Amino acid sequence: MISTAHTRKLLRRQKLGDGLFQVVAVVGVVIALATLGALIADALVDGVPRIDWKFLTSFPSRKPAEAGIFSALVGSVYLITLTAVVAVPIGIAAAVYLEEYTNQSSRLSRIIEVNVANLAGVPSIIYGLLGLELFVRAMRLERSLLAGALTLALLVLPIVIIASREAIRAVPSTIREAAYALGATQWQTTKDHVLPLAFPGILTGIILAVSRAIGETAPLITIGALTYVAFVPDGVLSPFTALPIQIFNWVSRPQHGFHINAAAGIVVLLLVTLLLNALAIFLRNRYQKQYQ
Amino acid sequence: MSHPRKSRTGEKFIETALLACGMLSILTTVGIIGVLLFETIGFFKEVSIIEFFTDTQWTPLFVKKHFGVLPLVAGTALTSAIAILVAGPLGILTAIFLSEYAPVRLRQILKPILEILAGVPTIVYGYFALLFVTPLLQKLIPGLGGFNALSPGIVMGIMIIPLVSSLSEDAMYAVPRGLREAAYALGSSRLQTAWQVVVPAAFSGITASFVIAISRAIGETMLVAIAAGQMPNLTFNPLVPIETMTTYIVQISLGDTPTGTLEFRTIFAVGMVLFLSTFALNLIGDFMRQRFREQYE
């Protein structure tokens, strides 16, 4: 038999272990969050004082104090808009096909599903190599906005497809049955009933995709986007630069003044991506609650 | 509605269009493999595959050219290993804390924060590694170079914590309540339940999160391109500049290497090695995740 004293000792030891672990775990979580906090604080401290109207509206310059992010900012806006215009309709259409038009267990749909999951794990720089050969060289788009946007579109397509599929799947099947019962065709059911109901979830995916595309640097460098552009693109075939590329260019220079510029660019980039991500997570949480 | 026949052809057309969009993802994969294969084969016509995998020097831009990919592989392995050494323990700790200890409210706050931070562009981490962490480390380790594998490795580890913790937590969450209750009924503490019941039960899922995190670390580009240097260096010393496979591709892309030359083809051969290693790791990771799902559902 185990004595009461022994049990008590055991319990005390358990409690001690529990308490200790909790401390270790909290310290671990705090280290992670503190580092990330330091990252943001570091960029803010260096960058915020540099941001003013002139910084946002000036072209890059050899003198750090006169340089700005105008061409990068405009380039990013054009690039992301073009990316979304290509990736969003195709991504939603692919999701609709997989969820509404094929037998879920059919071979083709399984192949596409596995394939999309794998594509989501391919390093972004590999998409850059694909874009370089396919869009820049084979299609002769050169180092244009269009080549960049098509490359990024392929990169974010899996994000749009996966999020849209989840959203479409969450629409109750009774909605579809009701539409069919009233004589709607499959496409009418999809476009008038399923897609509107799935919209918040799809929107979450689109926002995440856009946020990802804004921060992508490596594939754009690989397709040869320029790092010094003192003009605003005048069409989809124009050469361009983008905000993360401009930041990279400034970080790579030895002068301290350019590092400050990089920090200021990072603050702008972080502001946009973090706001978009927060919005996406907020939308998703709200939307999940609605269904439960 | 009034023209059923017209509507039916419309339906058929729409279905075909939708299918085409679905097929585009397959074409992307075919495109990636095709492009890499085409250029890699071209590369191996001029450089022997044995030299590629056994030569210990990588100097394609020098007069005396060496095409040994090992230094780049070593650089990639080094930064990824440091990253997983940081992200593994911290990620599991965070996952256990979130899944077994944290009160619901704290969990509701912490999870979205981790998710938002996972969305920080990697170039930001690169800036942080080069201009914040490296100077900090240089105070602790005298003689540490301005470019080294340690600083970007550590920062990359912190960057992939959310990936490890969220995948591990999913795995722990899938462990049936009954197992935990049985452990508590036998008098286990929370810690004992977590380490001796939940973690072993979720083991394949946790391993999968490691594998996927490593794959992510291998493919990471901007962070190492900014902070690790551009020196192909066959070493496992984390204190000296190195070059990863991804950095090499960036380096060539930024330079003025003419397209179609042997030097230009090197980035596709390196890209092939990169693609195959991440692809294999992703497959293994997915396979492991499927396994733990099947066990309990």
Choosing among A13, A122, A152, which should be mutated to test the B contact, i.e. which has the most B CBs within 10 A?
Answer: A122
The pLDDT value recorded for residue A289 is 55
Three-class SS of residue A122? Answer: coil
The pLDDT value recorded for residue B2 is 44
Tens digits of residue pLDDT in B123-171: 999 999 999 999 999 999 988 888 999 999 999 999 999 899 988 988 8
Choosing among A102, A129, A192, which should be mutated to test the B contact, i.e. which has the most B CBs within 10 A?
Answer: A129
Token readout for B166 is 């969220």
Specify the CATH class of A54-291 in words.
Answer: mainly alpha
Instruction: Give B271→chain A minimum CA distance, Å.
Output: 7
Q: Looking at A233-242, B45-54, B71-80, B104-113, which range is the least confident one?
A: B104-113
| Contact (CB<8Å) B18/A133 | no
Average pLDDT over residues A261-281: 89
Locus of tokens 């996952």: B95
Instruction: Report the C-alpha gap between A108 and B19 in whole angstroms.
Output: 10
Q: Which residue among A33, A91, A117 sits closest to B286, beta carbon to beta carbon?
A: A117
Higher pLDDT, A189 or A7: A189
| Contact (CB<8Å) A251/B123 | yes
Residues 97-156 of B with CB under 8 A from A: 97, 101, 110, 112-113, 115-117, 119-128, 130-132
The pLDDT value recorded for residue A88 is 95
Three-class SS of residue B108? Answer: helix
The pLDDT value recorded for residue B79 is 95
| Contact (CB<8Å) B120/A222 | no
Average pLDDT over residues A45-50: 88
- DSSP annotation string for A166-177: HHHHTS-HHHHH
Locus of tokens 């806006």: A77
A249 C-beta neighbours (distance < 10 Å), count: 23
A123 C-beta neighbours (distance < 10 Å), count: 25
The pLDDT value recorded for residue B295 is 62
| Contact (CB<8Å) A28/B89 | yes
Locus of tokens 């090499």: B248
Instruction: Report the C-alpha gap between A129 and A151 in whole angstroms.
Output: 9
Q: What is the ipTM of this complex?
A: 0.90
Locus of tokens 């092939």: B272
pLDDT at B5 over 50: no
Average pLDDT over residues A157-185: 92
Q: Which residue among A17, A187, A215 sits closest to B121, beta carbon to beta carbon?
A: A215
Instruction: Give A97→chain B minimum CA distance, Å.
Output: 5
pLDDT at A67 over 60: yes
CA nearest neighbour of B250 among A225, A66, A125, A5:
A125
Is residue B1 very low, low, confident or very high in pLDDT (cuts 50, 70, 90)? very low
The answer to whether B28 contacts chain A (CB < 8 Å) is: yes
Average pLDDT over residues A212-240: 87
Q: Note the CATH number of domain B70-296.
A: 1.10.3720.10
Residues of B in contact with A18 (CB under 8 A): 189-191
Residues of A in contact with B249 (CB under 8 A): 125, 128-129, 218, 222
The pLDDT value recorded for residue A292 is 42
Domain boundaries in chain B? 4-46, 70-296
Is residue B220 very low, low, confident or very high in pLDDT (cuts 50, 70, 90)? very high
Residue of chain A nearest B19, judged by CA positions: A97
Residues of A in contact with B275 (CB under 8 A): 122-123, 126
Asked whether B208 and B285 are in contact (CB, 8 A), the reply is yes
Choosing among A97, A110, A165, A226, which should be mutated to test the B contact, i.e. which has the most B CBs within 10 A?
Answer: A97
Token readout for A209 is 């995709």
Residues 251-270 of B with CB under 8 A from A: 253-254, 259, 267-268
Higher pLDDT, B61 or A265: A265
Residue of chain A nearest B132, judged by CA positions: A42
Residues 177-216 of B with CB under 8 A from A: 188-192, 194, 212, 215-216
Percent of chain A with pLDDT over 90: 43
Instruction: Report the C-alpha gap between A165 and A95 in whole angstroms.
Output: 5
B289 C-beta neighbours (distance < 10 Å), count: 21
The pLDDT value recorded for residue A264 is 92
Residue of chain B nearest A256, judged by CA positions: B131
Choosing among A92, A99, A111, A126, which should be mutated to test the B contact, i.e. which has the most B CBs within 10 A?
Answer: A126
The pLDDT value recorded for residue B72 is 94
Instruction: Report the C-alpha gap between B19 and B21 in whole angstroms.
Output: 5
Q: Which long-range contacts (CB under 8 A, 24 or more apart) does A137-144 make?
A: A137/B259, A141/A237, A142/A237, A142/A239, A143/A223, A143/A224, A143/A225, A143/A226, A143/A239, A143/A240, A144/A236, A144/A237, A144/A238, A144/A239, A144/A240
Average pLDDT over residues A265-289: 84
- DSSP annotation string for B2-42: --HHHHHHHHHHHHHHHHHHHHHHHHHHHHHHHHHHHHHHH
Tens digits of residue pLDDT in B170-212: 888 888 889 999 999 998 888 889 888 999 999 888 999 999 9
What's the pTM?
A: 0.90
pLDDT at A8 over 50: yes
pLDDT at A290 over 60: no
Is residue A228 very low, low, confident or very high in pLDDT (cuts 50, 70, 90)? confident
Alpha helix (H) ranges present in B47-131?
A: 49-54, 70-96, 104-118, 122-128
pLDDT at A81 over 70: yes
The pLDDT value recorded for residue B292 is 66
Is residue A164 very low, low, confident or very high in pLDDT (cuts 50, 70, 90)? very high
Residues of B in contact with A115 (CB under 8 A): 25-26, 29
